[in-house]
Amino acid sequence: MSEALVFAFILLALLIGYLLGRYRSTATKNVKGTSGGWPQKRYYQGLNYLLNDQPDAAIDTFISALEVNSDTLETHLALGNLLRRRGETSKAIRVHQNLLARPSLSKEQLHLAQIELGVDFLKSGLLDRAESLFRELVEAKNVSKPLRAKALSYLLEVYQDEREWLQAIDVADQLTAKKFSGTPDQWREMQAHYCCELAGNMLLTKELLEARRWVRNALRYDKNCVRASLILAQIELTDLAPAQALIVLRKIPRQNPKFAPEALQLIYECFQQLQKPAERVVMFRDIYREHHSLPVLNYLVEAIAQAQGEDEVVDLLLQELPAFPQMEAAGELLKVVSENKSQWVGFNYNTVKGVLEKLTAARCQYECSNCGFRGEQLHWLCPSCKSWSSIAQR
Ligand SMILES: [Zn+2]
């Protein structure tokens, strides 16, 4: 158990002690002759458990010792949240279910406990139960506006986890309605991704008309949705319309420059389909002039190798590699080998291939700007912090 956590528990215990003290004095005032002593005894018992590093027993004692009323509700909720953050969701569920069973709480307080219980279910993967709790709150009358918005945003998370994209779009529509429109752009960007999920599925099953329809919807929600443009370019390539695909792809750096590298592979394929290798070299030289990066250099090298042969590639690499410190060793090796060409059998193939492999590896490093998650492929939804469009090439 970390020191910070013990500290948090002790603070919580002190707070509970304070509340128990208040409870006791109220009880003494109200019922003359009864001291209300047992809760305080349980409190000290709980504190003992805590100090003896038996947090589970301490939690059980605190839950049973502390009365649920308007004064202690915040403490119960804090305890439930603490347990959930520790990953002890079944205990958090017990705390929150205990609250919901108390008729002494007001409607608003019960709604608050219901949200927290829903979050417990959501975090433990019990999505059906989370969905029905949040849905109940969204549909109930007399739920306050902030709580309804909270329930809707959690319901959205449930549908996202369930990959129920149509329902997610519907819930986000409710969130962007005027009464909740604090951050409509954030919801619309997410809706564009939901449409892209549907478009991607349609593309896989070659239902191109439907795929186009969802791409259009995505761009209606967010005109700068790069993912929608990438899918549209893939649809055009599947429809054997590479020139159309190129028009779409060239807009991507203006939509969001951080995703420009994602278009490179498709641009490469467009020229392949167009059967214009020389024009492909010109295009990638232009891109490389604007973005001096290893991934772009990698595509330029491949384009030149296809159009003009490997000797041209060696010259380009010798010229460009010194600009990239991480490629220094490969550049030096290539230099030594090319200066002594005659001694090296199979020079063109093996040495250039080694450098190309290093260049390709340099292409595959992605990082989430929100949580720092790293991986070798692009995830539109960060698997770690669940934010959209936060992962890009480093
Ligand atoms: Zn993340």
Q: What pLDDT sits at residue 137?
A: 94
What separation in Å is there between the alpha carbon of 366 and the centre of ligand 1?
A: 11
Q: What pLDDT sits at residue 127?
A: 96
* Residue 48 domain-assigned (yes or no): no
- Residue listed under structure tokens 């608050």: 112
What separation in Å is there between the alpha carbon of 36 and the centre of ligand 1?
A: 50
CA–CA dist 343, 332 (Å, integer): 17
Domain that holds residue 326: 279-361
CA–CA dist 112, 130 (Å, integer): 14
pTM for the structure as a whole: 0.79
- 352, 377: one domain: no
pLDDT at position 97 over 60: yes
Q: What letter does residue 372 receive in the DSSP assignment? A: -
What separation in Å is there between the alpha carbon of 230 and the centre of ligand 1?
A: 22
| Choice between 195 and 66, residue whose per-residue pLDDT is larger | 195
- Element holding 76 (H helix, E strand): helix 73-85
What separation in Å is there between the alpha carbon of 383 and the centre of ligand 1?
A: 7
- 347, 294: one domain: yes
At 68, the pLDDT band (50, 70, 90 cuts) reads confident
* Residue 178 domain-assigned (yes or no): no
The total domain count for the chain is 2
* Residue 341 domain-assigned (yes or no): yes
pLDDT at position 32 over 70: no
- 351, 372: one domain: no
What separation in Å is there between the alpha carbon of 171 and the centre of ligand 1?
A: 23
pLDDT at position 147 over 80: yes
What separation in Å is there between the alpha carbon of 327 and the centre of ligand 1?
A: 29
Q: What pLDDT sits at residue 308?
A: 87
pLDDT at position 51 over 70: no
Q: What pLDDT sits at residue 20?
A: 61
Q: What pLDDT sits at residue 208?
A: 97
User: What 3-state DSSP class applies to 366?
Assistant: strand
**Of 13-22, 194-203, 300-309, 311-320, which gets the smallest average pLDDT?**
13-22
Per-residue pLDDT tens over the stretch 165-215: 999 999 999 988 766 666 778 889 999 999 999 999 999 999 999 999 999
Note the Cα 184 to chain centre separation in Å: 18
CA–CA dist 79, 90 (Å, integer): 13
* Residue 272 domain-assigned (yes or no): no
What separation in Å is there between the alpha carbon of 394 and the centre of ligand 1?
A: 14
Per-residue pLDDT tens over the stretch 9-20: 655 665 666 566
Mean pLDDT on 80-96: 86
* Residue 15 domain-assigned (yes or no): no
What separation in Å is there between the alpha carbon of 125 and the centre of ligand 1?
A: 19
**Of 59-63, 348-352, 375-379, which gets the smallest average pLDDT?**
348-352
- 335, 368: one domain: no
Q: What letter does residue 389 receive in the DSSP assignment? A: T
Tokens of 27: 């009880």
- 283, 357: one domain: yes
Q: What pLDDT sits at residue 236?
A: 98
| Choice between 315 and 224, residue whose per-residue pLDDT is larger | 224
At 102, the pLDDT band (50, 70, 90 cuts) reads confident
At 91, the pLDDT band (50, 70, 90 cuts) reads confident
* Residue 317 domain-assigned (yes or no): yes
* Residue 290 domain-assigned (yes or no): yes
**What are the residues whose beta carbons fall under 8 Å from the beta carbon of 383, sequence distance 6 or more?**
373, 375
What separation in Å is there between the alpha carbon of 87 and the centre of ligand 1?
A: 19
What separation in Å is there between the alpha carbon of 370 and the centre of ligand 1?
A: 5
Q: What pLDDT sits at residue 269?
A: 97
What separation in Å is there between the alpha carbon of 385 and the centre of ligand 1?
A: 4
* Residue 374 domain-assigned (yes or no): yes
**What are the residues whose beta carbons fall under 8 Å from the beta carbon of 18, sequence distance 6 or more?**
none
What separation in Å is there between the alpha carbon of 374 and the centre of ligand 1?
A: 9
